[in-house]
Structure 1
């Protein structure tokens, strides 16, 4: 699939026909730029309105196109991110089951959705409102999904951190803890290289430590986790003495209900994340199709209005879609320019050249024909 297309229109000229211009263009492309795909871009007879309305609309078209294109790319990037998370890459994106490139190159105006007798500004404004709503929905849905991911990431960071900071609940079993009226068990985090010092000194840090009560539960790259049992009345004193020897006593209270609750919370978050990811991905697939369809109808209005301003009334032009490789772009531009003998089209140059502007005047490279680029990615 190509990712970059040109949409262009050429003047038919007095006494000519769109079919004859199409035949000449096909012949020129096949002879001079055979590696360039060429398609007709079928635009119906839309409601022209007044010249003032067309000029006013033209001022807004480029900005509106950038907005619609931007939303299209946002949704596409979101789809790519969601697919990376799942490790599954889908087939090409579609519009009503049709691949987007095929939808573009075989474009058919949707009369039911966009009646051709509607004013052009009404069609453009309707598209803009629809796309703005989709963008707002995207922000809300992504925010909800990101919130769940953030909660999971926070839990995972606690699980993945060192013993000095991570959650210890999944490392401690009921049998590791002594809890009675007089005895309690503490958890000490000891530097990996200070374990001998701990084992040789913990019993004598205070007077009320149970001999040989320390047991190693876990070890990571930096620390080891040990239990130690002592009389409850001596806990604060032991913590102070341990801190003086650079042993960290972690606050921890074993509670089976809390453990179960945390486990259930984690499982629910993981399930919510997958459900929301799947739902968001499906919504993005559907919404991308809606945005792309609206974008192509917007492009059709753009070509139509700019062609009227460029070539005059009555509407008499051929609109096409091309996909030239980079190496053939100059050649294709030359072919298109060579087919613009109409005096109206040659008059429309950039404002710096003294012309009246138009679509090309707002783009980096002005041409004597209507032309703009559609980037699918």
Structure 2
């Protein structure tokens, strides 16, 4: 599937069908590897020259916006599919592949009445795409919020012993809790374990001898228990900290541990539900945005053709997908089919340069041309 197309309009001198046949013959003889299609633009409401010039001032900005939203949704689809380990489903518009929709484009009269002013059509397209972009931001933010919560939990589960959640490392039999005795959990640097074992009993009074037991070890730390009288626990924490041992605040609670487990399961389920919902929404809205973009391109080629060739509208709009090596040859063919006398019908040389700012090639070619990328 090609992802880079030229939309071109050529001035018609005799008949559009005759020009189309000449173009087909030239392409097939000189650049046979270049797909060529008619781009069906309807007879739109021209309005005044001033309104067309004013509209063209905004066309590039609007095109970049719609194209940007289209690409943003496509990237979101790729990210979501990559997270799930799946492969992206082919993107479609109204049930057909996007390239087929472009090359067989048909104007949706019900959605965009051709008797509406061009400015109204462009504004409607912009508003519809802007609403989709706003919805995308809200949905992505909701999904990312759940992902952030899960990432925070994962960091607690997979981080070092200095920061991670300890509840799944401690068993009920590891904890002594009575009216007078408590068990503390100490995080000891791996290289200081001998120091810990030789000194913990003397860090304060009333430490139960030989009560320290190693529960877990990671790349940086080891987790030890120590049992002592509750009334000296604060003093033990202070003295342990001075020797480089961290006593973690911890209270063993089966209920709290079960609650955390349920929260994790709920977040995992929420993440998958939101991911599937967002992915389906993106596939659907990509089609809507792409359709809006192609209608915008039809307005654009119509407006620029009127400004370039004059009235009444008499031009042939086509879509081509030349390879990089064929571009110069195709440009030569297109220029050979142009009658430059009709080009720039309403414009001075300065105005030609201004129209070139629309992103086409008005300053280098005697025909309307712009590129559509949906890679």
TM range (shorter): over 0.9
SS of 1:171's equivalent in the other structure is: coil
User: Would you say the 8 A contact 1:348–1:368 is kept in 2?
Assistant: no
The answer as to 2:358 corresponding to 1:362 is yes
The answer as to 2:5 corresponding to 1:9 is no
The answer as to 2:111 corresponding to 1:113 is yes
The answer as to 2:233 corresponding to 1:235 is yes
Displacement of 1:354 in angstroms is: 4.2
Residues 8-30 of structure 1: per-residue CA shift (max 9 Å, x gap): 100111xx111111111111111
Give the whole-Å Cα distance in 1 for the aligned partners of 2:307 and 2:239: 87
- Equivalence for 2:60: 62
| Residues 73-84 of structure 1 aligned to structure 2 (within 5 Å) | 73-84=71-82
Displacement of 1:240 in angstroms is: 2.3
- Equivalence for 2:48: 50
* Structure 2 alignment gaps of length 5 or more: none
Give the whole-Å Cα distance in 2 for the aligned partners of 1:361 and 1:222: 59
- Equivalence for 2:261: 263
- Equivalence for 1:250: 248
- Cα 1:297–1:342 shift into 2, 3 Å: same
User: Would you say the 8 A contact 2:240–2:247 is kept in 1?
Assistant: yes
2:24 is aligned, of 15, 21, 26, to 26
Give the whole-Å Cα distance in 2 for the aligned partners of 1:328 and 1:112: 38
Residues 116-163 of structure 1: per-residue CA shift (max 9 Å, x gap): 222211111111110111111111111111111111111211222111
The RMSD of aligned alpha carbons is 1.7
The answer as to 2:207 corresponding to 1:226 is no
User: Would you say the 8 A contact 1:348–1:357 is kept in 2?
Assistant: no
- Cα 1:205–1:357 shift into 2, 3 Å: closer
Q: Which moved more, 1:90-99 or 1:192-201?
A: 192-201
TM-score (norm. length: structure 2): 0.95
| Residues 147-186 of structure 1 aligned to structure 2 (within 5 Å) | 147-186=145-184
Q: Which moved more, 1:89-98 or 1:281-290?
A: 89-98
SS of 1:6's equivalent in the other structure is: strand
Displacement of 1:357 in angstroms is: 4.5
Q: Which moved more, 1:190-199 or 1:203-212?
A: 203-212
SS of 2:176's equivalent in the other structure is: coil
SS of 2:162's equivalent in the other structure is: coil
Give the whole-Å Cα distance in 2 for the aligned partners of 1:2 and 1:153: 38
User: Would you say the 8 A contact 2:185–2:249 is kept in 1?
Assistant: yes
Give the whole-Å Cα distance in 2 for the aligned partners of 1:253 and 1:154: 20
- Equivalence for 2:123: 125
Residues 212-236 of structure 1: per-residue CA shift (max 9 Å, x gap): 2211111000100011111111211
- Cα 1:321–1:364 shift into 2, 3 Å: closer
* Structure 1 alignment gaps of length 5 or more: none
SS of 1:345's equivalent in the other structure is: coil
Residues 224-257 of structure 1: per-residue CA shift (max 9 Å, x gap): 0011111111211222222232221111111222
Give the whole-Å Cα distance in 1 for the aligned partners of 2:221 and 2:351: 75
Give the whole-Å Cα distance in 2 for the aligned partners of 1:94 and 1:359: 32
User: Would you say the 8 A contact 2:3–2:373 is kept in 1?
Assistant: yes
Give the whole-Å Cα distance in 2 for the aligned partners of 1:203 and 1:75: 62
- Equivalence for 1:140: 138
Give the whole-Å Cα distance in 1 for the aligned partners of 2:282 and 2:119: 27
Give the whole-Å Cα distance in 2 for the aligned partners of 1:20 and 1:76: 39
Displacement of 1:269 in angstroms is: 1.3
